[in-house]
Amino acid sequence: MEDPLDPRVMDAEIWAELCNTLAEAHALFRDDSFPFAPSDRAEYLRYLLQFLASGISVCVAHGDADHPELTRMMDLDRRWGLDSPDHLYLFASVRGDASYTVSGDPGTANLVDFQVNEGHYALGDIASTRTQGSVILDELEREPDGTIVLHVGGEPRAGNWLPLGDGARFFQLRQVFADWESERPAELRIERDGGPVMRPRVRTDQMAERIDLLRSWMSAGGSLWRDMSKAMLSMPPNSLSIPDPKRSSEFSGLKGQAYGMGNFYCAADEVVLLEFTPPICRHWSVSLATWWWEAIDPATHQSSLNHHQAALDPDGVFRAVISHEDPGHANWLDCAGHDRGTLIARFVMADASPIPRYEVLKRDALEAHLPAGSPRIDPEERQRQLVRRRRAVWSRFRR
């Protein structure tokens, strides 16, 4: 196709528009409700830069539906949207009038989910980001060597196939890890069927469209996550609302996953005791996030726990201790110096939603509130545990 010579690209006006959007993003993200201690200011600027980096990858570098590539939508150093420390999120652009093949080694994660979605995270509208089709690895037939071939779009066929209808815009792959030290990430590729291998030079109209999408990523998308974080923080301090599992997957979330949304408020001399009885399910987890809706660094802090990592009390109850300092309890959730933040609990394929309970205690009152046999850990074992955790995260993200 002949280049239409988009005037905003030809005279660089679109670059000025992008710079204006970035300036507006700073003003937009700062309001009276923001925490602005020195570390909060530093984290805020880091968050903006990392959010921009994710947008450049998803909206610009990997915006070509004719030459799709699986890219990390979120990364260890690009955390946003209340990302899960158990997940590895991959993204590829697609279009509804084409067909694709996803193939390769699916890895050994506890759960692998393949999705075709309408809309885009850059649009800032959850209702418009809907799943057209979804399948988990368990439902796919494997090749004799253990690899998979998944057909996406085109005419319906028997076997491994996902529909791709009008409005389809991206393919998403979620890998959910339980045993971080032993489960292995997938090595998959996505290719457009019958598409050319060689990529032509980018046209001005294509670049204009991608930069406009990046601008929306920073403005509309950024506002969405900000407002959702504020809504969770406006709930009563130390609260967690877990919906009925039947309401899961209404939009583009993981199939069969109930998202429990909440917050934590913990002063330096306090601990917050969170407890619930886990339901029967494929996977569950609890993780802490900052004001900016980014997971607290899971590689250097035990800021999350899943069903494989957690230790239940003798009565079958999960009791986690949210605190600034190690309380000597196995289920420590490290708030890493944040006296408030968001919290999410995920339950995949659960038979019911648990009823969470919170209790705020002074640090020296914790022991009296724990039952006999509640799992403890000494400082030396904690250090070994944290080292293993960091190495497992690095391995998953190939650091």
| Assigned domain for 1 exists | no
Mean pLDDT, residues 110-134: 94
Cα–Cα distance for residue pair 17/205, rounded to 1 Å: 15
- For residue 163, give its domain range: 7-229
Q: Tell me: pLDDT of 88 over 70.
A: yes
46 with 68, same domain? yes
Listed range (33-47, 225-239, 271-285, 356-370) with the worst mean pLDDT: 33-47
Mean pLDDT, residues 143-163: 97
Q: Which residues contact 395 (CB under 8 A, 6 or more apart)?
A: none
Mean pLDDT, residues 49-54: 96
What pLDDT score does 257 carry? 86
- The tens digit of pLDDT for each residue in 130-147 reads 999 999 999 999 999 999
Mean pLDDT, residues 55-83: 96
Number of domains in the chain: 2
46 with 145, same domain? yes
159 with 281, same domain? no
- CA-closest candidate to residue 374, choices 323, 325, 324, 332: 332
- The tens digit of pLDDT for each residue in 193-203 reads 998 899 999 99
Cα–Cα distance for residue pair 67/196, rounded to 1 Å: 8
Mean pLDDT, residues 12-40: 88
- The tens digit of pLDDT for each residue in 243-301 reads 888 765 554 567 788 999 999 999 999 999 999 999 999 999 999 999 999 999 999 99
| Assigned domain for 191 exists | yes
DSSP 205-221: HHHHHHHHHHHHIIIII
Average pLDDT, the chain: 94
- The tens digit of pLDDT for each residue in 311-353 reads 999 999 999 999 999 999 999 999 999 999 999 999 999 999 9
Predicted TM-score (pTM) of this structure: 0.95
199 with 284, same domain? no
63 with 205, same domain? yes
What pLDDT score does 398 carry? 85
What pLDDT score does 25 carry? 84
- CA-closest candidate to residue 291, choices 357, 358, 231: 231
Between residues 215 and 127, the one the model is more confident about: 215
Domain boundary among 198, 229, 260: 229
What pLDDT score does 128 carry? 85
Say which DSSP state 138 is in: G
